[in-house]
Structure 1
Amino acid sequence: MTDQTENPVFAAENTAQTMRNVMAELGKTETLANPAPDKTLIEAALVTTPTGRNHHDLTSTHRAALEYLKPARRKGTARLADLQSLTDWAQRFKGDTSALFAEPDMDAPTITCIADYHAAGPIEPTTPTGDPTARHCHHRAVYNFPLSNEWKAWMEVSDTPMEKDDLGEFIEANAKDIMDPTPAILKGAESDKNKDWENRLILTAQQIEGRYGQLSQLLKMSKQFQVYETSDLKIATNRDSGESEIQFLNEHKTADGKPLNIPNLIIIAIPVFANGAPYRMPVRFRYRKSGGQIRFILSLYNPEKSFEAAFDVAVNKITADTELPMFKGTPES
């Protein structure tokens, strides 16, 4: 009987089988770490490949494949057009850890809702599995308060010197914002019979020694206002030392020589935010004469108070409607 091991045909077949076995062994991958079913996005997925038995981290590939059909968590920032939409968004997505942040910036006020904000309680930085109160804070909604056109117009001219014609054009364009003082305000005495806002304006006038004027007076001044300056010489002598002091006293008068007596306050009623309630504010009216040039200055008196009042109304409303904690300022970035 012939030995098959000595037969060239069988020897070739044995060699081929050996080579197949060797190549299969060399090309085999080995799993070093595979994510557990209940911790898919936490544990890493590591394998080795034949070429030098290199290690490859497939964690991101696994996560991308899993998120292809369904995201692992909510993320993104919604930009909402009104406060009610922010309230509805918060009601739809809020949880036990959700929170509101209000930024009272007079130039760009905002309210932000973070649906997945950090849970309350102290941090636990030494816990092996991570801080149990930490959240990603990736799911947000922001409402940017739109400042009213009236507010922006008056804030733009506030404390800015204007020529007579510029003042007249501004007053005519914004005459609807100016309100005449009521009889109680003209009287200038606080009373229980007055409305709260009347007493507030009266108190402001008393504090800055102001007197309220009417729209018609302001329009007339912007068209016909003229100032005549007179100078009187005053000499004072100290009898003990014999020293003399010379002063020039300047006085502004009307064309007929009478001292100027003009109102230095007006009242405007404008909304802080677009489509919001109007707020009554005093505006100081001043003029400066230098040589033959006259400049007029309109200055909003404490506009911060009106802004804070309007902002607090919005903050209190959304806090009450959503029942979420409110923080003044900006959240962690």
Structure 2
Amino acid sequence: MNNSELNNQVGTVMHKDAFVIGQTSLQAAGDVLPFVVTPEGGSVHTFEETLERPLQLKQATILHTAKDLIAYVTRFADSDSMVFVDVLGGKIQAVLDFHQAEKVAGYGANAYQRHCKHTAHFIVSKTPEFEKVVANSGRKMSQMDFALFLEDVMPYVNQPAAAELYEIVNTLQAKTNIDFKSGTRTDNGQVSLTYNENIEASAGRQGNLNIPEQIVFGIQVHRGGEHYALPARFRYRIKDGNIALWYDLDQLEKAIEKSMEDTVTYIREGKTVFNNDDTETALPGVPSFVTILEGSVNI
């Protein structure tokens, strides 16, 4: 028997032995995870689905309100759980199995690593009314379009008063056949627009339309959040008897930041809400042992 034949015979025997072992032996990695090694290619097949519980927790949950995020974190958090807040991005991310902050012998570090695979995400979405007000800021509108816009957002306007705003809307809608001549700012903080009303078979009639220099929206920035005063400066431009009307929001970023800060304060400390029957309800925040940081983490 030459060397080639001998090698083939040995290989056949080893293959048969490996096949028998693979078919008859169910082993366990660390006495926890069952597996079988098959002879062809030496593949390892695990049977994690047969375990009573998975070896590692992998769960990414998306919550839609701060209240639900608090409830989820409260249920699963431990003393090493972390919450990361992106204020301007409106994103909050909780990592419930974050690294343990403790001395590790032989590592020379203060972090005992964990998988960081159990997360909860909350995107603090802006309200439709807030997005509408923001989207129209700086958009030059015709007389009628501006009237329709004011009529649409009237429930969200704190200043001027509803009656005054309603009168402005009615005047803009009724006086359509007019030529605007000029605009002046008065001592009481209003803009007085002078116009000539075109009346058939007559010389016309002069009038004035007073619009406040500033509009203040009282609006909920984020869903489930508080209402905030959002000032806007009134603007106009007159050309060839036609007028363009618009507003420019002021301190927009501050309103967004303040709303997010209040949301984070609620998550950290809880808050008290007032019910329709004049009673109060205390809503808890996350457990005090959960660390909250401004930032983000890539996992």
- Relative to the length of structure 1, the TM-score reads 0.61
2:96 maps to 1:115? yes
Give SS of 2:212's match.
coil
1:93-152, Cα deviation, whole Å (9 max, x unpaired): 1122211112223xx62222111122336999x95xx99622222111112223222211
Partner of 1:87: 70
Give, in whole Å, the separation in 2 of the partners of 1:48 and 1:277: 62
CA distance in 2, matches of 1:275, 1:311: 11
Q: Does 1:178 align with 2:157?
A: yes
Q: What's the counterpart of residue 207 of structure 1?
A: none
Q: 1:165 aligns with which of 131, 144, 150?
A: 144
Are the equivalent residues in 1 in contact too, given 2:87–2:260 (CA < 8 A)? yes
CA contact (8 A) 2:157 2:215 kept: yes
Which of 195, 219, 228 aligns to 2:181? It is 228
Report the 3-state secondary structure (helix = DSSP H, G, I; strand = E; otherwise coil) of the residue aligned with 1:174.
helix
Q: State the shift of 1:260 in Å.
A: 8.3
Structure 2 equivalent of residue 270 of structure 1: 219
How does the TM-score come out when normalised to structure 2? Answer: 0.67
Checking the alignment, whether the CA contact within 8 Å between 1:118 and 1:135 is kept in structure 2 is: yes
Provide closer, same or farther for how the CA distance between residues 275 and 253 of structure 1 changes in structure 2, counting only shifts above 3 A.
Answer: same
Work out whether 1:329 is the aligned partner of 2:264.
no
**Contact preservation (8 Å) 2:151, 2:166:** no
Cα distance change on mapping 1:120 and 1:221 into 2, 3 Å? farther
**Alignment partner, residue 27 of structure 1:** 16
Amino acid at match of 2:180: V
Q: Distance in 1 between matches of 2:151 and 2:103?
A: 59
Equivalent residues, number? 246
Cα separation, partners in 2 of 1:274 and 1:156, compared to 1, 3 Å: same
* Residues in 1 aligned to 2:207 and 2:11: alpha-carbon distance in whole angstroms: 117
Could you list the runs of 5+ residues in structure 1 that have no partner in the other structure?
Answer: 1-20, 183-212, 231-251
Deviation of residue 327 (structure 1)? 1.9
Q: Which string of whole-angstrom CA distances, capped at 9 and with x for unpartnered residues, describes residues 24-54 of structure 1?
A: 55511289xx86536859xxx89694x7xx6
Report the alpha carbon displacement of residue 155 of structure 1 after superposing the two structures with TM.
0.8
Counterpart in 2 of 1:133?
A: 112
RMSD, aligned CA = 4.0
Candidates 148, 154, 164, aligned match of 2:133: 154
Residue type at the aligned position of 2:68: S
Q: Kindly state the Cα deviation for residue 68 of structure 1 after the two structures are TM-superposed.
A: 3.6
Letter in 2 for 1:72: L
* Secondary structure at 2:223 match in 1: coil
**Aligned residue identity for 1:81:** H
Higher helix share: 1
Corresponding residue number in structure 2 for 1:246? none
If you compute each CA radius of gyration, which structure gives the higher value, 1 or 2? 1
Residue equivalent to 1:244 = none
Matched, 1:215 2:165: yes
- SS of the aligned residue for 1:102 comes to strand
Counterparts of 1:98-113 in structure 2 under 5 Å? Answer: 98-105=81-88, 109-113=90-94
Whose strand fraction is larger, Structure 1's or Structure 2's? 2
Hey, what does 2:276 align to over in structure 1?
Answer: none
Per-residue CA distance 1:48-68 (angstroms, 9 max, x = gap): 94x7xx6x252xx23xx1344
Whole-angstrom CA distance in 1 between matches of 2:244 and 2:181: 14
Residue 87 of structure 1, CA deviation? 0.6
Deviations 1:218-268 (A, max 9, x none): 4256333752159xxxxxxxxxxxxxxxxxxxxx85447899875310222
Q: Tell me, which stretches of 5 or more residues in structure 2 are unaligned?
A: 1-9, 184-192, 197-204, 270-284
State the alpha-carbon separation in 1 of the partners of residues 38 and 76 from structure 2.
42
Distance 1:22 1:218 in 2: 96
The 3 A distance-change label for structure 1 pair 95 and 214 is: same
State the match for 1:193 in structure 2. Answer: none
